[in-house]
Amino acid sequence: MTKIVAALAMMPVLLTETHATALSCDNTRWCAQYGASLGGATNCGFFTIEQCRATLSGGSDFCVPNQFYNPCGPAGPRRSSRNRYNY
């Protein structure tokens, strides 16, 4: 009985776990670095530097490029040039 209860308790954790490799791309190019106003927090949810700057409150807050920026490529499978035959 305790094994069933333990298994049911772990089910939400197992179902909501996401691996870092599951995220294929990240188009958010800019991060807001908040200084003393928010204890040094970071928000990397901005597509443009203008969006990032609009959220800053001044002081020691500033925008920086997202170090984890990984642009999405074109949809569909990519073809290698070595698989093409020119006859």
What is the C-alpha to C-alpha distance for residues 9 and 7, in angstroms, rounded to an integer? 5
Backbone phi and psi for residue 64, each to the nearest 5 degrees, phi listed first: -135, 155
The pLDDT score that the predictor gives to residue 44 is 94
What is the C-alpha to C-alpha distance for residues 83 and 66, in angstroms, rounded to an integer? 35
Q: With beta carbons less than 8 A apart as the criterion, state whether 37 and 61 touch.
A: yes
Q: With beta carbons less than 8 A apart as the criterion, state whether 64 and 33 touch.
A: yes
14-65 pLDDT, tens digit each: 445 544 445 567 789 999 998 876 678 999 999 999 999 999 987 889 999 9
The pLDDT score that the predictor gives to residue 66 is 93
